[in-house]
């Protein structure tokens, strides 16, 4: 798919495939991910901007005994500024571990961060006896992967005439964690139902019903999340905040809040 097909009034009436073929429809559900070609073509000027986390990770061998722990490092500094983000280390089994880090683009200088180099610097703070490979070697072997996690609604309202945005194209990821799989499924289902209801009533020019569904489901939580990210992106706030929260009591409560509905092994306060 190369992009949306528009009518003379700017309403989306289908998509154009890369070969030039057009596929028309009464409503288009954009489920084309964080780099949504449909959204980019429409130059969506969102009422809410939401935020995106930039995340990078690699799997690698390590001289580290296997365990069932997930280590979170909240102290993530760039040129002395505490970042709104964290790094992680968890075992994969068989002598391999996953190391990664992520930060939110509410930090003013986020574009100055070379994520790969930054991850290499973080790895150098980890115990030497783990014998981690150098970041350049991981990069050369294409073992490092970076990605973007949009969250807190990056396209709002979540529709334009003829089109409904879902999942990462809507920025439906949960602001507290960036988790977007269940949100993509739920927003996709809601978009389908709302599109049918709207087409049976007023037609494809107005999908306000979808905006209302999304607002009722996650509006309050995502507003709070956007506000939190905005604050956490201010280095002075983040620098002081980290002093308050970087302790096992807070970490335990936060992990429980993040994963309270997830299945998985229980974690314990160290």
Ligand X SMILES: Cc1cc2nc3c(=O)[nH]c(=O)nc-3n(C[C@H](O)[C@H](O)[C@H](O)COP(=O)(O)OP(=O)(O)OC[C@H]3O[C@@H](n4cnc5c(N)ncnc54)[C@H](O)[C@@H]3O)c2cc1C
Contact (Cβ atoms closer than 8 angstroms) between residue 84 and residue 106? yes
Q: Which tokens go with 154?
A: 């990056």
Minimal distance in Å, beta carbon 165 to ligand X? 9
Q: Which is nearer to ligand X, 82 or 210 (CB)?
A: 210
Q: Which is nearer to ligand X, 237 or 255 (CB)?
A: 255
Q: Which is nearer to ligand X, 120 or 150 (CB)?
A: 150
Minimal distance in Å, beta carbon 203 to ligand X? 26
Q: Which is nearer to ligand X, 68 or 205 (CB)?
A: 68
Residues engaged in binding ligand X (CB under 6 A):
1, 31-33, 37, 147, 149, 167-169, 173, 179-181, 184
**Residue 236 neighbours by CB under 8 Å, 6+ apart:** none
Q: Which tokens go with 17?
A: 């495939």
Minimal distance in Å, beta carbon 64 to ligand X? 22
CA angle 113, 90, 116 (to 5 degrees): 20
Q: How far apart are CA 96 and CA 246, in angstroms?
A: 27
Q: How far apart are CA 132 and CA 56, in angstroms?
A: 16
Minimal distance in Å, beta carbon 259 to ligand X? 10
**Residue 90 neighbours by CB under 8 Å, 6+ apart:** 69, 70, 71, 97, 98
Minimal distance in Å, beta carbon 236 to ligand X? 30
Q: Which is nearer to ligand X, 12 or 31 (CB)?
A: 31
């Amino acid at each position: 798919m190369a992009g949306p097909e528009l009518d003379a009034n700017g309403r989306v009436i289908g998509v154009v495939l890369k070969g030039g073929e057009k596929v028309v429809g009464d409503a288009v559900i954009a489920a084309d991910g964080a780099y949504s070609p449909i959204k980019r073509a429409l130059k969506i000027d969102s009422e809410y901007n939401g935020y995106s986390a930039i995340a990078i990770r690699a799997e690698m061998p390590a001289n580290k005994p296997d365990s069932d722990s997930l280590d979170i490092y909240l102290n993530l500094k760039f040129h002395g500024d505490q970042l709104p983000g964290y790094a992680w280390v968890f075992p994969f089994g068989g002598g391999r571990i996953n190391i990664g880090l992520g930060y939110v683009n509410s930090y003013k200088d986020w574009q100055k961060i070379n994520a790969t180099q930054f991850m290499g610097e973080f790895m150098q703070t980890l115990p030497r006896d783990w014998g981690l490979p150098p970041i350049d070697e991981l990069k050369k072997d294409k073992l490092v992967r970076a990605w973007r996690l949009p969250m807190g609604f990056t396209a709002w309202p979540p529709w334009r005439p003829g089109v409904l945005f879902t999942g990462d194209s809507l920025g439906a990821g949960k602001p507290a964690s960036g988790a977007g799989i269940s949100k993509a499924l739920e927003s996709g289902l809601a978009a389908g139902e709302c599109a049918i209801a709207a087409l049976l009533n007023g037609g494809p020019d107005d999908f306000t019903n979808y905006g209302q569904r999304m607002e009722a489901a996650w509006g309050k939580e995502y507003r709070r999340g956007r506000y939190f990210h905005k604050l956490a992106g201010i280095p002075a706030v983040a620098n002081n905040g980290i002093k308050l929260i970087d302790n096992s009591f807070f970490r335990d409560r936060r992990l429980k809040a993040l994963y309270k509905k997830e299945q998985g092994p229980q974690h314990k306060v160290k």
